[in-house]
A and B are shown apart, each in its own frame.
Chain A
Amino acid sequence: DAGITQSPRYKITETGRQVTLMCHQTWSHSYMFWYRQDLGHGLRLIYYSAAADITDKGEVPDGYVVSRSKTENFPLTLESATRSQTSVYFCASTYSYEQYFGPGTRLTVT
């Protein structure tokens, strides 16, 4: 299917564990983004990427790492998960002034 896919859709992990959220797009859009959605905060930008091998921090990057070796993939890694990272994570890409979002990953850190 064309578009943005995220995996897993749901994940439960323990404090201190490393976890990677995957994002794949089929359009070859240059720009890709990771957001987290929390009640009362809306969507907050974690990291973004302008192209393969080019990434930059957003509003809330602490505790997260990204990489982008291929245009179509933009994984987000929590190096040592904390309970404050319990959230819904959305990946997005941009084309022609519009952002297209994936379905989200609900992450729970226990």
Chain B
Amino acid sequence: DQQVKQNSPSLSVQEGRISILNCDYTNSMFDYFLWYKKYPAEGPTFLISISSIKDKNEDGRFTVFLNKSAKHLSLHIVPSQPGDSAVYFCAASAPNTGNQFYFGTGTSLTVIP
């Protein structure tokens, strides 16, 4: 049973506009959430994270929003750049689970120049 879901397999955005990637989760015990970016033929790389005690975390062009009541998080990229074209995975972890991370299925973002 998929505990972390990314319902949009793909997203296309014009360069300079905002990209919004969404993620839903089912396990209310999750207390830490991360976004990873993956280019073809490479491993995922960490992008940004948020603890459940916050509802927003910002790092440059990237902002993650967490809505605990809706069990929903989103990643905003503003402005989007062609180099942001990649697959984005959201991940979640819960306390006392041996550092296990649960990953979504990924969203492929294409930023059109």
Residues on A facing B (Cβ under 8 Å): 4, 31, 33, 35, 40-45, 48, 50, 56, 58, 90, 92, 94, 97-104
Q: A90-B44, A102-B43 are in contact. Are A48 and B103 (CB under 8 A)?
A: no
Between A and B, how many residue pairs show CB distances below 8 Å? 60
User: Which residue from chain B places its CB closest to the CB of A29 in the assembled complex?
Assistant: B99
CA distance A101 to B42 in the complex (A): 9
Residues on B facing A (Cβ under 8 Å): 4, 6, 32, 34, 36, 41-46, 49, 89, 91, 93, 98-106
Q: A41-B105, A97-B93 are in contact. Are A103 and B98 (CB under 8 A)?
A: no
Which residues from A are CB-within-8-Å of B89? 42-43
Q: How near does chain A come to B68, taking the closest CB pair, in angstroms?
A: 18
CA distance A40 to B91 in the complex (A): 15
Check A99–B46 contact: CB distance below 8 A: yes
User: Which residue from chain A places its CB closest to the CB of B51 in the assembled complex?
Assistant: A97
Check B99–A101 contact: CB distance below 8 A: no
Check B106–A42 contact: CB distance below 8 A: yes
Which residues from B are CB-within-8-Å of A90? 43-44
Q: How near does chain A come to B97, taking the closest CB pair, in angstroms?
A: 10
Which residues from A are CB-within-8-Å of B45? 101
**Top 8 closest A-B pairs, CB basis?**
A101-B43, A42-B105, A43-B103, A31-B99, A94-B99, A42-B103, A101-B44, A98-B46
Q: How near does chain A come to B45, taking the closest CB pair, in angstroms?
A: 7
* In-complex Cβ contact of A42 among B34, B49, B104 (8 A): B104
Check B44–A97 contact: CB distance below 8 A: no
Q: A42-B89, A48-B98, A50-B98 are in contact. Are A100 and B103 (CB under 8 A)?
A: no
